[in-house]
Structure 1
């Protein structure tokens, strides 16, 4: 059985303008970054894998699905890769929409080559940062999944700042039982202190709705 080898961080250029796509590819390869070109959003989506790493350069206006529509689809598919929107038109409303939808930058054609390459490097660094943050979040969520329902109840009361005596009264259990639950919570969450446990709780509340994100490669 062969194991699929992870792809290196790659720049995905999506533009129906073949001339621009090839020029962008040439520039990006000059800084030794892998590049894959696509002529449409649909073509890109046909091979999209949320485990792929890198960044996306996408034209805002293309036949079929637009760059803004692609952004929405990728967000629904839990894409972590940063998106840079490019456009030949200085359309402020479109730029605002793109940024609100999560684009890290909107670049107007034509642009300075050095500025473009610097932006690519920043996007790749942002992708790496997001994935490291994701891995850290997943560790916390996985630890939380080890807790029993009762331990989660006690966890919430601890976060509210209640003492073991107060928690026992609220949950109708003994002081010793609460203390035992607290010890198990600290052990399972691998927390050394209540402040650390509180930080984990914030992570859980922030990430719980997106628990189904596929783990990134690497």
Structure 2
């Protein structure tokens, strides 16, 4: 993307690498850094939970020795990035349980660099696509659910471009009542104008209509 004479590059993906083995962490981190990723390395799950930004876009590389309960704990803390688990090829049952618990993919240890880069690339792009498609809709739905039934009626008629007087006639209420509901709708969506309200609620159309 170009802005003026400055070329703006898209933000780099952030890979959270969770592995208790420092030598393994260093090797994997070096490969990822060399190929354009930002790497945040952690020796354990607690360090990740305490220090990693849940808003970061990328993926999580997890050594399964960290523990079987980590995936659920991370999700409950708001970390929605795809998880790629790493484990010895002889240790299949924990891998199966991790996949059943929501892990995106698995790679064997010792890690093959080409496989690592392929899986990480796919996971990171999947996360970016998820954020672009579903997070705006999720945020809009959460705001929409704060509306009362009558505010919801007013909301949909507002987004169709109807005036307060037209809405009042259709709903059989006073213009003053419409204006009160309209104010509540704006407040709950954090909108400052009708255009802003419509822009904020575009993701709702395919979900709720």
Q: Shorter-normalised TM-score: what interval?
A: 0.5 to 0.7
1:23 matched to 2:27: yes
The match for 2:104 is 104
**Does the Cα contact within 8 Å between 2:18 and 2:43 map onto a contact in 1?**
yes
TM-score by length of 1: 0.63
Q: What's the Cα RMSD here?
A: 3.5
Which sections of structure 1, spanning at least 5 residues, go unmatched?
A: 1-6, 156-174, 203-218
TM-score by length of 2: 0.65
The match for 1:10 is 14
In structure 1, how many angstroms separate the alpha carbons of the residues matched to 2:54 and 2:46? Answer: 15
- Judged with a 3 Å threshold, the aligned counterparts in structure 2 of structure 1 residues 143 and 72 are, in CA distance, closer, same or farther, namely closer
In structure 2, how many angstroms separate the alpha carbons of the residues matched to 1:13 and 1:120? Answer: 11
In structure 2, how many angstroms separate the alpha carbons of the residues matched to 1:147 and 1:81? Answer: 30
**Does the Cα contact within 8 Å between 1:54 and 1:124 map onto a contact in 2?**
yes
The match for 1:48 is 52
- Judged with a 3 Å threshold, the aligned counterparts in structure 2 of structure 1 residues 87 and 154 are, in CA distance, closer, same or farther, namely same
In structure 2, how many angstroms separate the alpha carbons of the residues matched to 1:198 and 1:24? Answer: 43
| Count of aligned pairs between the two proteins | 168
Matches within 5 A, 1:1-218: 8-62=12-66, 66=67, 68-138=68-138, 140-141=140-141, 144-145=144-145, 147-150=147-150, 152=152, 176-177=170-171, 190=198, 199-201=206-208
- Judged with a 3 Å threshold, the aligned counterparts in structure 2 of structure 1 residues 14 and 133 are, in CA distance, closer, same or farther, namely same
